[in-house]
Amino acid sequence: MARDSEKTKRKILDALALLLAEGGFEGVGINAVARKAGVDKVLIYRYFGGLDQLLAAYAQEGGLWPTWEELTGLGPEKMGRTGLRELTRLIMTGHLDQLRSRPLTQEIMRWELTARNELTDQLARAREETTGLLMEMMGRSDQEPSMARMLAAGAVIHAGITYLILRAATADLYMGVDLTTEQGWQRIRSAVEEIMEAYWDKVEGEFPQKEKEDEP
């Protein structure tokens, strides 16, 4: 009952999260959010400016996207000392686990598939920056001729993990793999690791590398 704008902003953002969790972006609208939050919709216009800007505020809240540490399980100090092969393996399996545990992030990614606006572009750009960071971490990517190829292969596998997770909400099977059981996901996880292993073996066969140590 006390007039607290911060609290009502929270109520609005929480209501949005609830709506997203329930039915995705389908049911999201000014009226629905206001109703769910138990708040007059005019306040959404006042505090956020509109639905788009409300979504922007929500998307930039914490917890939606995993940090590097959540993704790889590596503290910043270990990151430099971890080999490329192991690092990419951690990224892929981490991606699988993290995205799977974030239904709201999944919902946003589904939305990104059908809508394009300033917000979705902004999200995409932020993620591409992360990729750029990874490439820097890999060493000058321009010089390594195998780097561009590896990145494309990584994109395919990363995208595959993403799609299977997004698909799991509306399908039980994908090419014979059960998406509803932990067993099925274990199969996928193993498959990802096997694929990467095989691919790395192939690459290292073609481009024999010095064992990567920490730089002085």
Partner DNA sequence: TATATATGTCACCACATAGTGACAAAAGGA
Partner DNA sequence: TCCTTTTGTCACTATGTGGTGACATATATA
Question: Is there binding between residue 51 and DNA (CB under 7 A)?
Answer: yes
Q: Which residue number, 43 or 84, has a Cβ lying nearer to its own copies?
A: 84
Calpha distance 131→125 (Å, rounded): 10
Where in 184-213 is the site for its own copies (CB under 8 A)? 187-188, 190-192, 194-195, 197-199, 201-202
Question: Is there binding between residue 2 and DNA (CB under 7 A)?
Answer: yes
Distances (CA, A) of 137 to 190, 214, 215: 26, 12, 12
Distances (CA, A) of 164 to 20, 29, 157, 181, 209: 20, 28, 11, 13, 33
Calpha distance 183→189 (Å, rounded): 10
Select from DNA, its own copies, none the partner in contact with residue 131, using the beta carbon and a kind-dependent cut-off of 5 to 8 Å: its own copies
Question: Is there binding between residue 55 and its own copies (CB under 8 A)?
Answer: no
Half-sphere exposure of 50 (CA within 13 A, CB side): 1
Question: Is there binding between residue 93 and its own copies (CB under 8 A)?
Answer: no
- The least distance separating its own copies from the CB of residue 67, rounded to whole angstroms, comes to 18
Burial class of 48 by CB neighbour count within 10 A (0 to 12, 13 to 18, 19+): buried
Buried b (16+ CB within 10 A) or exposed e, 140-169: ebeeeeebeebeebbeebbebbeebbbebe
Q: Which residue number, 8 or 93, has a Cβ lying nearer to its own copies?
A: 93
Question: Is there binding between residue 66 and its own copies (CB under 8 A)?
Answer: no
Residue of 18, 24, 25, 43 interacting with DNA (CB under 7 A)? 43
Calpha distance 146→139 (Å, rounded): 12
Select from DNA, its own copies, none the partner in contact with residue 156, using the beta carbon and a kind-dependent cut-off of 5 to 8 Å: its own copies
Residue of 15, 16, 19, 32 interacting with DNA (CB under 7 A)? 32
Residues in touch with its own copies (CB under 8 A): 24-26, 110, 112-116, 120, 124, 128, 131-132, 135, 148-149, 151-164, 166-167, 169-177, 187-188, 190-192, 194-195, 197-199, 201-202
